[in-house]
Structure 1
Amino acid sequence: MRSSCGDHSATRSPARLWTCVLGAILGAWVVVLPVHAQEVLRIPLFGDIGTFDPDNGFEIAGIGVINSVYEGLVEYEPGSTRIVGSLARTWDISEDGLTYTFHLVEGVRFHDGTPLTAAAVVKSFERRRDRGLVLSYFLNNVKEIRAPDDDTIVLILHAPQASLLDSLASPWGPKIISPTALDAHDGGNAATEWLNDHAAGTGPFKLGEFRPAERYTLERSDDYWGQEPFFSRVEISVVPDLSQQILKLKAGEIDAVPKNYPIAQLFSLPQDLEITAQPSMMQFSLFTKPGSPLDNPEIRGAVLTAINPALWIKDAFGKYASISQSPYQNMMFKPKQPIAFPTDVAAAKAAIARHGEVTLTIGLFSAAPSYGRISDLMMAQLAEIGVKATSRVLPQGAAFALKGKADAPDLLLTISSPDAADPDNQAGVFFIKDAPGNFYGRVLPQADALVKKASGLKDAAARTALYEESGHMYFDAGYFIPLVDANDVVVHVKGLKDLGLRPVYPPGNIDFATVRK
């Protein structure tokens, strides 16, 4: 039956005309609003999510997924290293730097309906710190966790730690889990078994379908305390092959290729695709093996001349990277005196000639395209000065077993991204003695002492000066060679906005709470 508003008679009255127009507008709302409410975002992951437990796994590809379900006290603002409140609206730090007091946001509920209280935060923090979980080290310096009232959390430290807020804001920092769920599913293992594939957070999304190695779904939480996300559903598929991701994006089956899109193809994208790029802390760098030819200062100087990133950064990354100014990422601080690579190629050739045949092996942390691109360009430059270099991709996890191995590569090419934006986190992960990412176990006591001194200082300028000095020492000794800080580059369908990329996050982790279309 045709509506009377479709009558083409010229005798319709103005009142009737406005009635029809209003009806059309209201009808459009009826049609459009449900479509908005059912908007779905489709994102692929290169790797599977090993566990959804926010305390018990160092997830990389899926950390953004987990952080859409769980929240901490503070977080990093999108696009920066600035720390802003999350479940804590404000906080205070005592004059001696030992006591941190956080004031909670009111009216927050977990996805299971449990209200957020200070006691819930205490329970989650004590679980993280005391139950032997993978990420317990984030709270190693926290001596006491108190809840003087329902809205206040007090952390008392063993020693001053200027990086504490950064550790709490880290994507892997402590998150708050429903105490009801923890009690109900404890099972003597701190609920780790249940939390592997279930969730009970306060975030903008709830965990829906959980199918390991296949797909995951997030459903918008209608009771979320903060701003409502644009998308009501996020569908996350595990697609390990980059070429398959690209084909699916071009076919309209997914909405983005979050990382590793070939640089050469970024300048000839189809018209319906576009790029969002953001500076990050993804620093490509080299670690050197003790006893390699690089222990000789003259050979090391020649090699540094050849691999100077200024010679190959454009070929490797186009406009989507910057030369590293320090062993500490460019977004951490701007050094007063950036590190400098030698530039006299003739002198480098002469030095290698004096030493006869010099060969080097380069181990690649993974088979990701960027590693091969960088190593190929560096090997070509090394050949120019007479150094014979080869490269090989290391088996998964092999980089963490290089210490003391005679057959280990002379150089390890890897990404030295920290777990938080403070220089203390970078040094603590990669440089100091016994750091988990100090792949060859190199030890430089003088530099380590500067790092230790800086970690307890309140004065930001004094801390930065000490970190800069330590960075020069690690570089000058040849233990660590920073190369480039690469951008986080996401290729996505046109019209996708506010991806919420954060420098500290691993590349490609879109913020599902802020992204819209």
Structure 2
Amino acid sequence: MQTYACPTKQFTRRSFCLSTLMLAVSLHGSSAAVHAQDVLRIPYVADIGTFDPDNGFETGAVSAINNVYEGLVQYEPGSTRIVGLLAQSWEISDNGLTYTFHLINGVKFHDGTAFNAGAVIESFGRRRDRGLILSYFLANVKDMRAPDDSTVVLTLGHPQPSLLDALSSPWGPKIISPVALARHDNGDFATTWLNEHAVGTGPFKLAEFKRGQRYVLERNEDYWGDKPFFRQIFISIVPDISQQILQLQAGAIDAVPINYPFAQLTSLPAGLEITAVPSMIPYDLFVKPNSPLDDADVRKAILAAINPALWVKDAFGEFASLARSVYPNVMLDPINPIRFPTDFEAAKATIAKHGVVNLVIGLHSAAPSYGRIADLMIAQLALIGVKATAYVLPSGAAYNLKHDPNPPDLLLTIAGPDAAHPENQAKVFFTKDGSLNFFGRALPEADAIVEEAGQLTDVKKRDALYERAGQMYFDAGIVIPLVDVDDVVVHVKGLKNLGLRPVNPPGNIDFATVRWGP
């Protein structure tokens, strides 16, 4: 059995580590007495900012929110296939402008209010019209009608084949009890109350919200669909991954959902196992304008040095795959995958001829994977004579790089989309007005192809155009896709059906599907 490796160079550090280990064992002793098999204990690295499904871009808590609230449609676990949720069926008009949803009957909100089409209209209107953070999901919906209690009709301003993906997104619009919205609207559309309270239709109810401490979900015994296995989900806030690992080994929690060190995954202690699935977690480099990579020859040499095929196994073992395009592999399977140069000697000769090349890499996060990738690329660049350094950007700084007077030459970030349609990748990260076009770069001819692709319903033709535009962004030195990393959860043996979804941020276990099993 693997033991936790404590630092031993100083007595004080050893004493701290031993104390920590004793604390974990104590936690195990105290929790074992009260832990029931129908209670799932999950740690979060970061606190929940808001439980309001319309007004926050939560990542770690997506599954908790989506098990309390439900939308009309969703992505099937382990897939990008769209299936009904509160809508049992739907039709799309021939002109692509009208979507008619037929709702499931007999559904009730957690406060006993009946779910109906009027509740959908009110919730969708709140998100679209009240200036909330996630209003953009419904920006193209120009009219909403409820012909009867079981039917919702959405009319778009222009055809949007990505609409169903937007509605299926983990951050897509959810339905909130209209009674709760009215009761707690203090002139703020209930945003203050919904930060820490919730009334949805989902398989779980929000039973306890102790900011910075714990969150408790209770099974909705009156749920309209399949009942969850677990009676209660107990969520604790444990920012330090080493502490999470200690608690998992001591039996105080049931999983480490994210950031378990990849180097340790091949030698887990007895009693633990891994669930890993392909995911939309692409690590990309975004390139600032007027960097050394503007020189096509220098860029070719740098690409040869940082070729992810040279370091992906060292960074992620078997839990990552080489990026095949500027889109996640799960989203789009390109006909002609992006290729990195491989002539190392030619790269060295180019840099020697060019003269000194210095690069600064900004890391979006202090998460270990960022530093590991940067270290490996820096070592590779040194082999061809390029001097590179890396630093962790301050929180939120990546979103302001286009206005930064001294930005890094490269931004290393996870460029994960908010839905599985290629439009949600291209129009967010690559086109001129993309909200996460970090350096504000523009390639009008590629943007025009993206616009054309977004109108197509023929997936093969659509993807061919997106692939073409993506290759243009790459060839222009705007973005460099590196690797797609699996969603990896380390948990107690016997935990099954975690319900991980490719579009979800990593580690978001679906509490409605997870269970103990053989």
Q: Give me the TM-score of the superposition, normalised by structure 2.
A: 0.92
Deviation at 1:37, TM superposition (A): 8.5
What residue in structure 2 maps to residue 488 of structure 1?
487
Deviation at 1:462, TM superposition (A): 1.4
What residue in structure 1 maps to residue 437 of structure 2?
438
**Alpha-carbon separation, structure 2, partners of 1:246 and 1:109:** 39
Secondary structure (helix, strand or coil) at the match of 1:165 reads helix
Q: How does 1:109-508 map to 2 (within 5 A)?
A: 109-508=108-507
Deviation at 1:434, TM superposition (A): 2.1
What residue in structure 2 maps to residue 15 of structure 1?
none
Q: Deviations along 1:468-513, whole A, 9 cap, x unmatched?
A: 0000000000000000010000000000000000000000000000
Secondary structure (helix, strand or coil) at the match of 1:453 reads helix
**Alpha-carbon separation, structure 1, partners of 2:68 and 2:515:** 18
Deviation at 1:355, TM superposition (A): 1.0
Larger Rg: 1
**Alpha-carbon separation, structure 2, partners of 1:111 and 1:387:** 60
Amino acid at match of 1:389: A
Deviation at 1:429, TM superposition (A): 1.2
Single out whichever of 106-115 and 403-412 deviates more from structure 2: 403-412
In the alignment, is the contact (CA less than 8 A) between 1:64 and 1:509 conserved in 2?
yes
Amino acid at match of 1:405: D
What residue in structure 1 maps to residue 14 of structure 2?
none
What residue in structure 1 maps to residue 16 of structure 2?
none
Amino acid at match of 1:284: Y
What residue in structure 2 maps to residue 511 of structure 1?
510
Deviation at 1:103, TM superposition (A): 0.5
In the alignment, is the contact (CA less than 8 A) between 1:144 and 1:156 conserved in 2?
yes
**Alpha-carbon separation, structure 2, partners of 1:327 and 1:297:** 19
Q: Deviations along 1:244-281, whole A, 9 cap, x unmatched?
A: 11111111110000011111110111110000000000
In the alignment, is the contact (CA less than 8 A) between 1:54 and 1:174 conserved in 2?
yes
In the alignment, is the contact (CA less than 8 A) between 1:37 and 1:231 conserved in 2?
no
Q: Deviations along 1:391-426, whole A, 9 cap, x unmatched?
A: 001111010111143311100000000000000000
Deviation at 1:377, TM superposition (A): 0.5
Gaps of 5+ in 2: 1-33
In the alignment, is the contact (CA less than 8 A) between 1:363 and 1:393 conserved in 2?
yes
Amino acid at match of 1:104: L
Amino acid at match of 1:276: T
In the alignment, is the contact (CA less than 8 A) between 1:43 and 1:257 conserved in 2?
yes
**Alpha-carbon separation, structure 2, partners of 1:358 and 1:231:** 57
In the alignment, is the contact (CA less than 8 A) between 1:203 and 1:224 conserved in 2?
yes
Amino acid at match of 2:243: Q
Secondary structure (helix, strand or coil) at the match of 2:281 reads strand
Secondary structure (helix, strand or coil) at the match of 2:278 reads strand
Secondary structure (helix, strand or coil) at the match of 1:475 reads helix
Secondary structure (helix, strand or coil) at the match of 1:403 reads helix
**Alpha-carbon separation, structure 2, partners of 1:37 and 1:139:** 42
Q: Deviations along 1:283-315, whole A, 9 cap, x unmatched?
A: 000000111101110110000000001000110
Identity of paired residues, percent?
68
Deviation at 1:365, TM superposition (A): 0.3
What residue in structure 2 maps to residue 6 of structure 1?
none
**Alpha-carbon separation, structure 2, partners of 1:80 and 1:185:** 37
Secondary structure (helix, strand or coil) at the match of 1:514 reads coil
**Alpha-carbon separation, structure 2, partners of 1:120 and 1:490:** 36
Deviation at 1:38, TM superposition (A): 6.5
What residue in structure 2 maps to residue 40 of structure 1?
39
**Alpha-carbon separation, structure 2, partners of 1:142 and 1:462:** 25
Q: Deviations along 1:287-346, whole A, 9 cap, x unmatched?
A: 001111011101100000000010001101111011010001101121100011000001
Deviation at 1:36, TM superposition (A): 11
Amino acid at match of 1:472: Q
RMSD: 1.1
**Alpha-carbon separation, structure 2, partners of 1:260 and 1:195:** 29
Gaps of 5+ in 1: 1-34
Deviation at 1:166, TM superposition (A): 0.3
In the alignment, is the contact (CA less than 8 A) between 1:288 and 1:440 conserved in 2?
yes
Amino acid at match of 1:337: N
Secondary structure (helix, strand or coil) at the match of 1:218 reads strand
Deviation at 1:362, TM superposition (A): 0.4
**Alpha-carbon separation, structure 1, partners of 2:353 and 2:106:** 73
Amino acid at match of 2:98: T
Q: Deviations along 1:415-461, whole A, 9 cap, x unmatched?
A: 00000000000012111112111110011101111111111112211
In the alignment, is the contact (CA less than 8 A) between 1:38 and 1:232 conserved in 2?
no
Secondary structure (helix, strand or coil) at the match of 2:280 reads strand
Secondary structure (helix, strand or coil) at the match of 1:281 reads coil
Secondary structure (helix, strand or coil) at the match of 2:266 reads coil
Q: Give me the TM-score of the superposition, normalised by structure 1.
A: 0.92
**Alpha-carbon separation, structure 1, partners of 2:320 and 2:457:** 32
**Alpha-carbon separation, structure 1, partners of 2:239 and 2:38:** 25
Secondary structure (helix, strand or coil) at the match of 1:266 reads helix
Secondary structure (helix, strand or coil) at the match of 1:277 reads strand
Q: How does 1:13-162 map to 2 (within 5 A)?
A: 39-162=38-161
